[in-house]
Structure 1
Amino acid sequence: MRKMFKIISVSMCSVLIIICVLIVIIFVNHRINLSKENKDFIPNGQMVNVNGYNMHIYTEGDGDIPLVFMAGGGTSSPTLDFKSLYTLLSDKYKIVVIEKFGYGFSDVVNTPRDVESILNDTRKALSLANIKGPYVLFPHSISGIEALYWAQQYPKEIKGIVGLDMAVPEAYENYKINIPMIKIGAIASKLGVTRLIPSLSESDAIKYGTLTDNEKKLYKTIFYRRTATSTMIDEVIEVKNNANKVSKISMPDIPVLMFVSNGVDTGWNETDWRNIQETTIDKFQNGEIVYLDCSHYVHDIEYKKIAESSISFIKQIETN
């Protein structure tokens, strides 16, 4: 029995040593690749200093109405993620992509992620970049909460909202967020385990959008630096409180156009997800829903249809 126990113990120790060696090899490989990729990790927009940290804002086009694109939770590169859509709009409008802290080229920070703090960061960044409203907001997913709060608190700054399968307060009431699994993903990213599964870096922007080969390469470079960052995780931890805060305030009287997916990758089935969106749109005096038969990153898949409908929507806003 002792001999058997000794054999098992030696075997387990050997396995642990092998695992530790593999982890070290994976991590070293990751660090070497990060060093090589430093030459590509160069902001393609403007960096502004918000409360001592660098935030990245990308702009394109010279139109009178700024369209502010706001990323979904965990989107590694908002600037590239929205590109397929905003390139169809930049000949008529001023495109503005806000990369919140922890996203894209912006700093990873340890600051409060309540909706008021996030909005204050965004508004200050726009002010520093001399981008004046009123704005048309294009929020995707989790940023829907920030967009709604923005319209509630500063309605004169918002001409309208174009929701890109945006999250609304009701979406988080019974939603279970697996924080431990998210944190495991963060550890895997920091160790470089994500490099072992190339498909993880194949975002919908890469698979379905109009990115060039160089832009796809840049997206992957950013992915290995901005996946499940600590700032992103803090935002997810706080999202239910943020949604609850927004739900307690009445919706402002502004035009809203919501593009709604089939629920895939939202955590909800199609019927429940669409019912949640319909409950929200009913709270607006001037609201419209467009249903799309595609997954959550609608702007990477149905960008042509979204662009056409958005242009019509904005023209209506201008004439009213």
Structure 2
Amino acid sequence: MKKIAKTMLRLLLWIIAIIVFLILICFVYHRYRLTVEEKLRKPLGQLIDINGKNMSIYVEGSGSKTLVFLSGAGTCSPILDFKSLYSLLSNKYRIAVVEKFGYGYSDIVDEDRNIQTILSETRLALHKAGIDGPYILCPHSMSGIEALYWAQEYPDEIEAIIGLDMSVPECYKNIKINLSLMKLGQYASALGITRLIPALSESDAIKHGTLTDYEKNVYRAIFYNRTATVTMINEAKSIKDNARIVEQNGVPQVDMLLFISNGTGGTGFDKEIWRRITEEYIKEVKSGRYVELDCPHYVHDYEYRRISKEIKNFLSD
């Protein structure tokens, strides 16, 4: 028995050594690829200094109305993620894409992500970039909480909210945030293990949007550098508290147009529940309307043509 136990222990140690060796190779290759891909990660927009850290803002087009796009949780490249949609709008409106800390070309910060801080950073970045309100906010997913809070705290700055399958406070009442899985993704990204599964980098924007081949490569390069960042994780930790604050402040009475998906692709809800939550919320808005879309959560990567037409009609009313 002792001989068998020693053999098993020796085998286990060999297996561990092989795994460690393979992870080391993966990590070294990952660091090499990050260096090679650096030329693909040159900022597409402006880098604005916010308390000693850089926040990325991309501006395109001109017009009397300013549409501010705010990304959902974990979207590694907001500028490219929204491109299929805003490229159809920038001939008529000024477009601004704000990449929060931890996203896209913005710096990663390990700080509390309470709603007051997030909004103050967004507003300051826009002000420093010379992009003044009033704004038409176009939030996707979790950024809906920030948009609603913005309309509650600074109603004079918000002309309207156009929700791209945006979340509302009730979405976070009972949902479980899997922080362990996010931490696992963070470690996998840091070690380069995500490169072993190329499908992970194939976002909806890449598969269904209008990005060029070069832009797709840029998106992939950003993905390998901005996956499950500590900022994103801290944001997830704070979302329930942030949603609770927004709920307590009531429903802001601002013009709203909400696009609602079929619930697949990242909402955590089935179709009926996801749509019910949003539709019940918009009923409390006097000048609110919604459009149901039969597509996954990243609606702007699927139905960008229809959404752009609906937005133009909404803003021309």
Shorter-chain TM band: over 0.9
Question: Counterpart of 1:310?
Answer: 311
Q: In the comparison of the two structures, how many residue pairs are matched?
A: 316
Structure 2 counterparts to residues 16-31 of structure 1, below 5 A: 16-31=16-31
Question: Counterpart of 2:288?
Answer: 287
Structure 2 counterparts to residues 133-144 of structure 1, below 5 A: 133-144=133-144
Measured in 1, the distance between the counterparts of 2:109 and 2:285 equals 35
User: Once the two structures are aligned, what percentage of the paired residues are identical?
Assistant: 54
Question: Counterpart of 1:278?
Answer: 279
> Could you list the per-position Cα deviations for residues 169-198 of structure 1 after superposition, in whole angstroms to 9, with x for gaps in the alignment?
000001011111110011001100111111
The alignment's TM-score, normalised by the length of structure 1, stands at 0.98
> Could you list the per-position Cα deviations for residues 107-127 of structure 1 after superposition, in whole angstroms to 9, with x for gaps in the alignment?
001222001100000000001
| Structure 2, unpaired ranges of 5+ | none
Structure 2 counterparts to residues 2-21 of structure 1, below 5 A: 2-21=2-21
1:311, CA displacement in angstroms?
Answer: 0.6
Question: Counterpart of 1:245?
Answer: 245
> Could you list the per-position Cα deviations for residues 282-316 of structure 1 after superposition, in whole angstroms to 9, with x for gaps in the alignment?
12111111000000000000000100000111112
Measured in 1, the distance between the counterparts of 2:223 and 2:296 equals 20
Secondary structure of the corresponding residue to residue 111 of structure 1: coil
Question: Counterpart of 2:63?
Answer: 63
The reply on whether 1:81 has 2:68 as its aligned counterpart is: no
The reply on whether 1:195 has 2:163 as its aligned counterpart is: no
Measured in 2, the distance between the counterparts of 1:206 and 1:119 equals 29
Paired AA for residue 262 in structure 1: N
Q: Higher mean Cα deviation, 69-78 or 110-119?
A: 110-119
1:64, CA displacement in angstroms?
Answer: 1.5
Measured in 2, the distance between the counterparts of 1:180 and 1:206 equals 27
1:268, CA displacement in angstroms?
Answer: 0.2
Paired AA for residue 275 in structure 1: R
Secondary structure of the corresponding residue to residue 39 of structure 2: coil
The reply on whether 1:227 has 2:224 as its aligned counterpart is: no
Structure 2 counterparts to residues 114-193 of structure 1, below 5 A: 114-193=114-193
Measured in 1, the distance between the counterparts of 2:60 and 2:299 equals 21
The alignment's TM-score, normalised by the length of structure 2, stands at 0.99
Measured in 1, the distance between the counterparts of 2:223 and 2:217 equals 10
Measured in 1, the distance between the counterparts of 2:53 and 2:202 equals 29
Question: Counterpart of 2:103?
Answer: 103
Secondary structure of the corresponding residue to residue 40 of structure 1: helix
Measured in 1, the distance between the counterparts of 2:250 and 2:170 equals 14
The reply on whether 1:260 has 2:233 as its aligned counterpart is: no
1:252, CA displacement in angstroms?
Answer: 2.2
1:245, CA displacement in angstroms?
Answer: 0.5
Question: Counterpart of 1:37?
Answer: 37
